[in-house]
Amino acid sequence: MVTDLGGFVASTFKRGLQFINIPTSLLAMVDASVGGKNGIDLGHIKNQIGVINLPEMVLIDTDFLNTLPAEQIASGLAEMLKHGIIHSNNYWERVKNIAVSNKNEFETLIWDSIEIKKEIVAKDPLEKNLRKTLNYGHTLGHAIESYFLKSPDKKNLLHGEAVAAGMVLATFISMETYGFPKETLFDISKTIFKYFPKQSFDKKDIEAIINLLVFDKKNRNGQVLFVLMKDIGNYKIDCVVSNNLIYNAFDYYKNF
C-alpha cells in the first residue's frame, strides 16, 4: 500500500517527481514495488485509480522481513507462487517447498521472483499480452478482496490471501477450459491450502463476487476476461468464462 500510495503521489504531485521504492514487506518486495503500476482504491473497489510510472530504483533489504508477521510473509508468498505457475516448472517446484527460515534460500527465491516479474514487465510494459499473466488469480482475487472489505460480517483478507483463493479458482477453470493437468491442479491446491486458511463462500457471497467482476480493469466490451493456463508456464489471455464455471470452481475450492 505504501509503494502504491507513494508512487501515485510522486507521479501526480507537481506533474511528477522522481521516486525510489524501499519495500519492507515481502508482498512489496516481490510484486508491488516492481513494474511501475500503482493503484488507489475507489470506495471498496480495488486499484481503480492509478498510473504506470517506474521508480528510479527499488532498494531491497531482506532484514526488514525479520519483523514481519507470519501472515504477511504468506501474503507475499502468494505472488511468488503465482510467479512459479506463470513462469516455469523449475521455479514452481523450488518456491512451493520454500523454507522461509533458510535465509539464503529465501533471499535467492525473492531475487528470482523479482527477476521473473522484471523480465515480464520489460517485455510488455503496457500490458498488451504477456504482462497480463501477472494478473493470474487476480480477477477473482480482487473481487473476493473487495467483497470481504465491504462486508461487515467478513474479516478483511490480506491481498495474498485473496489471490491465493483466486489462483485455486483460476486453475480449476483452466483445467475445465484448456485441459490444465489435473495432478498439477491438485499440487497447486495442496500447496496453497498449506499456507492459506480456506475461506467460506456461500451462494450469496459468490453472486456478489461475480457482480464485482465488472469493475475489473481488464474487461473489454462488457466481458470479463481471465488469464488462464494450459499448463505451468503456458498461458492464455483474454479468456471468457461463464458464471456457471465460476460456481463450479467455488465448489471445487470448498470441497478440496
- Would you tell me which residues interact with a second copy (CB under 8 A)? 8, 11-16, 37, 39, 48-52, 217
Radius of gyration of the chain (CA): 17
Q: Which is nearer to a second copy, 50 or 76 (CB)?
A: 50
Least distance (Å) between residue 177 CB and a second copy: 26
C-alpha span between 193 and 200 (Å, rounded): 13
In Å, what is the CA distance from 251 to each residue of 63, 197, 235?
40, 16, 24
Least distance (Å) between residue 135 CB and a second copy: 12
In degrees to the nearest 10, what's the CA dihedral of 190, 132, 92, 21? -110
> Tell me, what amino acid is at 88?
S
Q: Which is nearer to a second copy, 96 or 138 (CB)?
A: 138
Angle at CA 195, nearest 5°, toward 194 and 196?
105
Least distance (Å) between residue 17 CB and a second copy: 10
Q: Which is nearer to a second copy, 10 or 168 (CB)?
A: 10
Q: Which is nearer to a second copy, 40 or 68 (CB)?
A: 40
Cα torsion angle, 150, 4, 246, 187, sign:
negative
In Å, what is the CA distance from 61 to each residue of 65, 78, 110?
8, 20, 11
Residue 68 near residue 27, CB atoms below 8 Å: no
The H or E element that residue 47 is part of is: strand 45-49
Q: Which is nearer to a second copy, 6 or 181 (CB)?
A: 6
Q: Which is nearer to a second copy, 50 or 166 (CB)?
A: 50
Least distance (Å) between residue 182 CB and a second copy: 36
Q: Which three cell numbers stand for residue 174?
A: 483452466
Least distance (Å) between residue 33 CB and a second copy: 16
C-alpha span between 219 and 243 (Å, rounded): 15
Least distance (Å) between residue 37 CB and a second copy: 7
C-alpha span between 143 and 44 (Å, rounded): 10
Q: Which is nearer to a second copy, 96 or 142 (CB)?
A: 142
